[in-house]
Structure 1
Amino acid sequence: MGRDQERGLRPPAAPTVTPLATVGLLVDGQPRTLLLKLESWGEHGSVKGRTAQALWADVADRVTPEVGLIESTSGNLGVALAAVAASHHVPFTAVMDLRSSAVLVEAIRAHGADVVMIDEPDGAGGYLLSRLSYVEQRVLAEPRLVWPDQYRNPASPRVHRETTAPELWEQSSRRAMSVVVAVSTGGTLAGFRDFARSVRPDWELVAMDVVGSAALGGAVSERVLPGIGASRPSEFLPHGHRPTVRVSASDAVHACLWLEATTGLGVGASSGAAIAAAMRLFRAVPARETVACLCPDGADRYQGTIYDPRWRRRQALTGPDPCEGAEVLEVSCPPTGVEVRNR
């Protein structure tokens, strides 16, 4: 009997294989293929469902059932860890901030978890450093409290090396393509990097970071979108990544609204930013025919922000639409039942 079984803990669940949508396009009159790996169909509604299961498997043997876990999160990992902790009957505290979606805060609380809201900006364009400071103080004061630490735990990149990246490779029929992965902690991108180094698919792996983020190096400034970028360099990618495309919050919002209007697919902010980066890549190299984007979550988590015209007006997001000049020809998304559209 394994240690988890001895303690009444369940083994980590196998990640759900998420669908790959294919969007046939004309970009400035040139035929292109945009592939979207829709992690919103996965466990707990985001790519962080995979991360949460991997983190739990890594720390489970250190968890005291009456004390539990604590983690800093912008939202998605908090929802997933809250669900995992509840399934194992251990308490969980999510440390969040004022940019966190109210939808996600309520989802975390619905799993019985506590939410600590940090309202002190960190001076680096966000709240991450302030959240981490709070977690460190709590762990110091309560030594039995377990912090999985999504920012440094090698379980995070490992799960994407072993599941997310190879799924995309097989679902795309191992084709040559550019692959765009957004960065915040850097764990997902590092997992894709490790897969590419090991298996050597015919990929151009492109990092997508947001303007004002230090995740891959560079100057920090205020950021309005949660879940993209960071206030400090990624521990998983201390030397950055090449190539990297940086997009603005305006780019991300435009791309989300364009995708929903033209295909009926609703994605979140990081996904919109990745799609905006894909449009830039299509235009930069005429021979680049296929770009795949990892889409971390869906539109349901952004109804009060990027899909709310009142929020967009308050943010005064300006700038050209990165999807202007792109015409959708067809969309397919097996096996989820998304309608195939011929335009």
Structure 2
Amino acid sequence: MASALRTSVRRLATSATRAAVAESSVNPYGIRVSKAQGVVDTLVGAIGNTPLIRLKKLSDETGCNVLGKAEFQNPGGSVKDRAALYVVKDAEERGLLKPGGTVVEGTAGNTGIGLAHVCRAKGYNLVIYMPNTQSQGKIDLLRLLGAEVYPVPAVAWENPENYNWQAKRHAERVSKEDPEHGAVWTNQFDNVANRRAHIETTGPEIWAQTGGKLDAFTCATGTGGTLAGVTRFLKDVSNGSVKSFLADPPGSVLHSYIQSGGKLKERSGGSITEGIGQGRVTDNLKEEVNELDGSVNISDEKTIEMVYRCLDEEGLYLGASSAMNVVAAKEVAEILGPNHTVVTMLCDGAYRYADRLFSEKWLKSKNLRDSIPTHLEKYIVLP
């Protein structure tokens, strides 16, 4: 019996040794990350903590480290999951939302999808107002995720029938009718909880992932939350040494605002980048707009070429706003010169835009067909 006991002990010891060896030798990086992440509590715990991807081709071209934060790995597929979580958290903290309450937002894009995931995980009702110019596929997706969707005529921000103001009135009405559960208009453009999300999560993640060794950050802005929040954190933690640059598409006034020292001009034109560019300085951006070190204006021609380049060279299937950010990171790296580290945001993937970005007909309709280099034309697979 003693012999059998010794054999059992040896087997256990051998098994433990083998397990330790296997853990240390097989995927050590993955094991470290998995231990750090642990088990999260519901879907909202999985928002954030996305990897930084070194873009090898562009890094080699510029002599810099060009890094993209893989926000398409968030549960809802975009960077907007972060803002969605924080505007809901803010409403909870202020007592505006109680269990079973209603969240209302005006959005034509990824914020709605992020809110849909967060609201389902937290048990809130979600109401979305959006311009009726949006695709049926986007409306169907939001409804599939449990949202009540109201497509309304597309009118200017100043018009009281703009989808944002209709969303605000809806929230006020529900709040009066159902005070027991509450309702809130999350107001993503001017609710600074959006900015706070990036001060508390995105900025610290970038700083930690680079070991504090980065020289510049750049991204485009719609609501302004990402650019402002990350800029605020990085400026504070680096004592101002990290530079921050706005990436701006055609049709936005912010590039000219920064270059002119604060003069807004009338908005004109447009861009293929959905949800990016602005005609005003939002509340999320206004505290940090004067902290920016510069801006780069990125044409649609450069953006669409980068969509195809990232797919071909890096295996990254990115949406137009992400590709625009990558172009901006490349240009900022060229401004700074070799041996610098530049970080940008890979906001989302191309999955929701593939019927346009890789369509011969759509590219021609936007006069962008000739922007695709000959060796990348093989990716134009849709008629």
Kindly provide the CA deviation profile for residues 271-323 of structure 1, in whole angstroms up to 9, marking residues without a partner as x: 111111122223334346332111111111221222333222222237867x9
Partner of 1:51: 83
Q: Is the 2:43–2:121 Cα contact (8 Å) retained in structure 1?
A: no
From 98, 123, 138, give the equivalent of 1:89: 123
Which residue identity is paired with 1:22?
A: R
Partner of 1:237: 285
Q: Is the 1:25–1:33 Cα contact (8 Å) retained in structure 2?
A: no
TM-aligned CA deviation for residue 185 of structure 1: 0.6
TM-aligned CA deviation for residue 63 of structure 1: 2.6
Query: Is 1:41 matched up with 2:73?
Result: yes
Q: CA RMSD in A?
A: 3.1
Query: Is 1:306 matched up with 2:357?
Result: yes
Q: Is the 2:66–2:333 Cα contact (8 Å) retained in structure 1?
A: no
Spell out the pairing of 1:115-130 with structure 2 (5 A cutoff).
115-122=149-156, 130=162
Q: Is the 1:214–1:233 Cα contact (8 Å) retained in structure 2?
A: no
Query: Is 1:78 matched up with 2:112?
Result: yes
Q: Which has the higher contact order (CA 8 A, sep 6+)?
A: 1
Partner of 1:271: 322
Specify the SS of the correspondent of 2:185.
coil
2:228 and 2:282 map into 1 onto residues whose CA distance is 10
From 247, 251, 267, give the equivalent of 2:298: 247
Partner of 2:251: 212
Which residue identity is paired with 1:209?
A: D
1:179 and 1:102 map into 2 onto residues whose CA distance is 35
1:198 and 1:29 map into 2 onto residues whose CA distance is 31
Q: Is the 2:77–2:349 Cα contact (8 Å) retained in structure 1?
A: yes
From 156, 172, 196, give the equivalent of 1:158: 196
1:271 and 1:143 map into 2 onto residues whose CA distance is 37
Kindly provide the CA deviation profile for residues 135-187 of structure 1, in whole angstroms up to 9, marking residues without a partner as x: 23434544444101111222111111111111111112321322112211101
Specify the SS of the correspondent of 1:44.
coil
Partner of 2:368: 317
Query: Is 1:280 matched up with 2:331?
Result: yes
2:187 and 2:62 map into 1 onto residues whose CA distance is 44
- Comparing 163-172 with 220-229, which one deviates more in the overlay? 220-229
Q: Is the 1:98–1:118 Cα contact (8 Å) retained in structure 2?
A: yes
Partner of 2:7: none
Partner of 2:187: 149
Partner of 1:331: none
The structure where strand makes up a greater share of residues is 1
Specify the SS of the correspondent of 1:221.
coil
Partner of 1:198: 236
Partner of 1:327: none
TM-aligned CA deviation for residue 68 of structure 1: 0.9
The structure where helix makes up a greater share of residues is 2
| Structure 1 residue ranges without an equivalent (≥5) | 1-9, 325-343
Does the C-alpha gap of structure 1 residues 85 and 28 become closer, same or farther in structure 2, counting only changes over 3 Å?
Answer: closer
Does the C-alpha gap of structure 1 residues 166 and 258 become closer, same or farther in structure 2, counting only changes over 3 Å?
Answer: same
Identity %, equivalent residues = 27
Does the C-alpha gap of structure 1 residues 282 and 64 become closer, same or farther in structure 2, counting only changes over 3 Å?
Answer: closer
Does the C-alpha gap of structure 1 residues 304 and 232 become closer, same or farther in structure 2, counting only changes over 3 Å?
Answer: farther
Kindly provide the CA deviation profile for residues 252-272 of structure 1, in whole angstroms up to 9, marking residues without a partner as x: 222111111111111122111
From 261, 268, 271, give the equivalent of 1:221: 268
TM-aligned CA deviation for residue 207 of structure 1: 1.4
Does the C-alpha gap of structure 1 residues 78 and 128 become closer, same or farther in structure 2, counting only changes over 3 Å?
Answer: farther
TM-score by length of 1: 0.80
TM-score by length of 2: 0.72
Which residue identity is paired with 2:311?
A: E
- Residue-pair matches, total: 312
1:174 and 1:255 map into 2 onto residues whose CA distance is 28
Partner of 1:69: 103
2:243 and 2:161 map into 1 onto residues whose CA distance is 32
- Comparing 91-100 with 262-271, which one deviates more in the overlay? 91-100
Q: Is the 2:195–2:229 Cα contact (8 Å) retained in structure 1?
A: yes
Does the C-alpha gap of structure 1 residues 179 and 81 become closer, same or farther in structure 2, counting only changes over 3 Å?
Answer: same
TM-aligned CA deviation for residue 191 of structure 1: 0.7
- Comparing 309-318 with 262-271, which one deviates more in the overlay? 309-318
Q: Is the 2:247–2:325 Cα contact (8 Å) retained in structure 1?
A: yes
Kindly provide the CA deviation profile for residues 234-257 of structure 1, in whole angstroms up to 9, marking residues without a partner as x: 222237344121212332222111
Q: Is the 1:250–1:317 Cα contact (8 Å) retained in structure 2?
A: yes
Q: Is the 2:322–2:346 Cα contact (8 Å) retained in structure 1?
A: yes
2:323 and 2:132 map into 1 onto residues whose CA distance is 22
